[in-house]
Structure 1
Amino acid sequence: MIAQENELFQKKPMLKSEDWWAVWLGLFIFLLSMGPVFGMDLLGWVVKINVWVDSAKALVAVSSSYKSLPGIYSALLTYLFLLGITTIGAVAMGAKVKKYVVGFSIIFWITFLCIFLGNNGYIAATPDKQASLKIPWSMSLGEMGFVIAMLVGLIIGNFFQNFAKFLEEAAKPEWFIKTGIVILGAAIGIKTVGALGLANTVIIRGLCAVIEAYLIYWPVTYFIARKFFKFTPEWAAPLASGVSICGVSAAIATAAAIRARPLVPVILSAVIIVFVAVEMLILPLLAQTWLFHEPMVAGSWMGLAVKSDGGAVSSGAIADSMIRAKALTDLGIRWEEGWILMVATTTKVFIDVFIGVWAFILAVVWCVFGIDRTKTRCDKVSAGEIWERFPKFIIGFALTFLLLLLMGLNNPSIVKGATVGADQANALRTFFFALCFFSIGLITNVRKLWAAGMGRIVGVYVICLFGFIIWFGLFVSWLFYHGIMPPIIAG
């Protein structure tokens, strides 16, 4: 991470931008997923890992059109496809071809094995699936493969550091999750067509929740960092953004806006990543225990509390599966899949949209008022900075969402085909999410926390995150989503 210091504040051309490559890869997969709308099956060969007891039945192609294709061949095709498209992007961004290809191959197959193990029936089967699998019990921990992937990544990153360093070229958690979010936009768009009123409620309330949280999280965290931990504004502002808004992205954007030294966001990022890993392990379990009767509250909570795109959206996916299983067991209710994840994703997207706006505001304040006396005051700030701070992958998410929403509303006859295509793309989205989980674990070196005075940073993070941010996020989520339920599946 230290090697990236000099790159943090440079304006990157589009071909070097992780955000733009997330947009392009996501849109490419989206276009292929539209095949069923026009009578073509372009992604049906993608592998789907079923919940299994007999491992021979675990791997199948996602489309029945490819049912004669052996599952292992489908897995191989999926690997080659993802290797091909990500290698193009990685090389354009400066990666070494051979090192990336080898690293990605190892990461993919380790991650694949983690998803496979996590889908074992005794781990993942919901109560309604136990009879068909002929098992007397299960833990009902859907998406457990994500957690296993992160744990394996943590083990490698902290105990096999030479191996982890070798894989770092291909470990790109933010790129993977941003690409997955672009793909997810299509699924949310077509889902919105079928329940427009509920979707509008989710979007409007999500925006309100984010604004309310922003107005409280940042100033309180900044005050604590300055007043009680004696951080300078150069440290306190990026730390407040990283803890209260959106993790690494917000810390880097804020540091760039106030012209902090490159060392500042590098050190903050190391701390943030560790705490994201902790939140991803704990918060979905708490949501299942406390909020299985308030699923939309749980989704919003994941979006407001987990401080990275990858962590928040992936935590939303885990919470979605776990809460639906718990509701089926305890309440006898079968909720439609994806709505909890939709709330988490929508909340996180609104947060990301405001990163650029907030960074621009801070740039103006720091520049005009000279808050940090070690910096030179200036007369004006370029309005173009707001575009530089804006997370570009959100453009891809908005495009896939709006295209399917408008297409479905204009021509309802395409909804069935578009739903099939979105499901096929979601099979690839699952891999991008899982790759993100593994990569987060891999690059998380816990021992680095205690280097270079990180103890004070950890102190601010613990007090703010566990002292009020998580709980106020839960309160705000309850305030805006209490009593709102996903659609119920009949039968």
Structure 2
Amino acid sequence: MNETDSAPAPSPEKRSGLSEDVIAIVVGMLLLILCFAATLTLGKRTVEDGTVTAIANPLKPFVSKPGGWESNPIVAFTGTADKPKVTWPGTIGALVILCVVMASLSLFMRPQATPAAFIYGFLILFALALIAYVLAGQSVIKNYNLEYALWALVVGLIIGNTIGKKAFGELGEAAMRTELYIKTGLVLLGAEVLFSRLLAMGMPGIMVAWVVTPIVLITTFWFGQKILKMKSASLNMTISADMSVCGVSAAIATAAACKAKKEELSVAIGLSLCFTAVMMAVMPMLITSMGLDQELGGAWIGGTIDATGAVAVAGGLLGDTALEVAATVKMIQNILIGVIAFGVAVYWTTRSDGEEGEAPKIGAGEIWKRFPKFVLGFIGASIIASLIYASSSEGEMLVTATTSVTKELRGWLFCLAFICIGIDLNFRQLSSQFHGGKPLILYICGQTLNLILTLAMAYLAFKVIPWGS
């Protein structure tokens, strides 16, 4: 999730307000309603022979990202005399829409932040995200497929490992909410994943996500215990779940189930972030060089990259089809978080060599607590958009016009998220927790197995088995 997807729980005194899952659903739905209402009421309709043939979203010119450039970055906002493409109004529009909607809900966030503090921090993050987008638009860089997410990570890493986020002060930190940006973007993505396609992909997606994942989890844990002989079984299990299921959310749920120490959870999260950054950039290039199509490549990405947001970004680098397949496979895999946490807790209650004398207990309430609820927002948005899309030809055009704007907003949200990830990732603190390198070896071996099995299963599910024939 995910990705990439949540941080250790804050202390009780800071837990007032709504969870970021709830806020993400609210913000995502508000943005979808805003864009759909604008299209429905103010959208320009093209009519031929009394039939509406196209609908233009009136917000489209006011929500965009910087364009391409060669030697002068100003061209990214103004275009050239030959190709005038003015993008600065869209950049400002994206800033205003996202900032206003999120700042208005900042008092309900956990921990709470005043609107003024949130706006101050958001402006800083947006400026950094803008730099990432401009760098990604340079023509030479663009030819090498070095997209905005990679540059967002680089910009964040430079800041996080030099001046650090504390240099921004408490006001600046108020808007550094990685989970919120990623999960809100994924709720918006739900409107782009039509339910009819989700159902059509159901069985192949289940094969990739639900068959490979437990095999990799169990094998990696066995490898860590029997071959690497890791001293901490709870660290082994947390890393194995993080790598095989869906990243940080799975690590947190599993760490609670097996009573892992706080520093062990930090190691798993750090490994997840490092490998997610590398795989997010490398896998699209590898898939392209191997000549895999978007469907197979998307399934491979969805089943192997840890963080849900990074899955969406990496899939998007290959194309819309790969993005949809990757996000769907990852969402199906996310369902396993509660199942895996429950299974780990049961195992830890029966194992005789546990490090803690008291066996953990986990029930339906704890599973629901650990379940990434933003997935419900994704599914809800998908169902609503699918119903509208299937209602009529005009409904199809309304959804298409609406998502043409929400795609741009989603891109900004992911860019903001990866700026935050880079800032939070401090290599010096992380290096002191690697216990002789065994956690790194475990992760590399487990992820290698995951890559091989997932590609084989994706090929079998999407290319060999004749579903529906």
- TM interval, shorter chain, is 0.7 to 0.9
Q: Distance in 1 between matches of 2:399 and 2:123?
A: 31
Q: Distance in 1 between matches of 2:129 and 2:282?
A: 21
Q: 2:447 aligns with which of 462, 465, 468?
A: 465
Residue in 2 aligned with 1:215? 214
Could you tell me whether the CA contact under 8 Å between 1:149 and 1:438 is conserved in 2? yes
Distance 1:437 1:156, change over 3 A: same
1:444-480 CA-partner distances (Å, limit 9, x unpaired) = 22222321344321121122223x1222222222222
Letter in 1 for 2:251: A
Distance 1:351 1:164, change over 3 A: farther
Cα shift at 1:286: 0.9
Distance 1:265 1:306, change over 3 A: same
Alignment of 1:70-469 (within 5 A): 71-91=87-107, 92-97=109-114, 98-124=116-142, 139=143, 141=145, 144-161=147-164, 166=169, 168-189=173-194, 196=196, 200-227=199-226, 228-291=228-291, 293-320=292-319, 338-367=320-349, 372=354, 374-377=356-359, 381-454=362-435, 455-466=437-448, 468-469=449-450
1:241-283 CA-partner distances (Å, limit 9, x unpaired) = 0121111111001111233333331232122212211222222
Cα shift at 1:438: 1.9
Cα shift at 1:397: 0.4
Distance 1:225 1:107, change over 3 A: same
Could you tell me whether the CA contact under 8 Å between 1:180 and 1:430 is conserved in 2? yes
Identity of aligned residues (%): 26
Cα shift at 1:140: 6.3
Distance 1:8 1:252, change over 3 A: farther
Q: What is the number of residues matched between the two proteins?
A: 433
For structure 2, the residue ranges without an aligned partner over 5 or more in a row are 1-6, 44-57, 79-84
For structure 1, the residue ranges without an aligned partner over 5 or more in a row are 61-68, 125-138, 321-337, 485-491
Q: Distance in 1 between matches of 2:307 and 2:167?
A: 21
Letter in 2 for 1:439: C
Q: 2:26 aligns with which of 24, 27, 36?
A: 24
Letter in 1 for 2:419: F
Q: Distance in 1 between matches of 2:410 and 2:349?
A: 41
Shifted more, 300-309 versus 369-378: the winner is 369-378
Q: Distance in 2 between matches of 1:6 and 1:33?
A: 33
Cα shift at 1:202: 2.7
Could you tell me whether the CA contact under 8 Å between 1:222 and 1:240 is conserved in 2? yes
Distance 1:209 1:420, change over 3 A: same
Q: Alignment partner of 1:16: what SS?
A: coil
Distance 1:235 1:86, change over 3 A: same
Could you tell me whether the CA contact under 8 Å between 2:187 and 2:381 is conserved in 1? yes
Cα shift at 1:234: 2.1
TM-score (norm 2): 0.83
Q: Distance in 2 between matches of 1:164 and 1:212?
A: 46
Cα shift at 1:58: 4.2
**Root-mean-square deviation (CA), in Å?**
3.1
Could you tell me whether the CA contact under 8 Å between 2:147 and 2:317 is conserved in 1? yes
Cα shift at 1:24: 0.9
Could you tell me whether the CA contact under 8 Å between 2:312 and 2:326 is conserved in 1? yes
TM-score (norm 1): 0.79
Shifted more, 242-251 versus 86-95: the winner is 86-95
1:285-337 CA-partner distances (Å, limit 9, x unpaired) = 1112113x4221111111112111122221111233xxxxxxxxxxxxxxxxx
1:225-247 CA-partner distances (Å, limit 9, x unpaired) = 21223233322221210121111
Distance 1:90 1:231, change over 3 A: farther
Q: Distance in 2 between matches of 1:409 and 1:476?
A: 32
Distance 1:373 1:153, change over 3 A: closer
Distance 1:230 1:483, change over 3 A: closer
Cα shift at 1:119: 2.5
1:178-230 CA-partner distances (Å, limit 9, x unpaired) = 111110111122xx6xxx5x654433311221011112110011112212232
Q: Distance in 2 between matches of 1:394 and 1:199?
A: 14
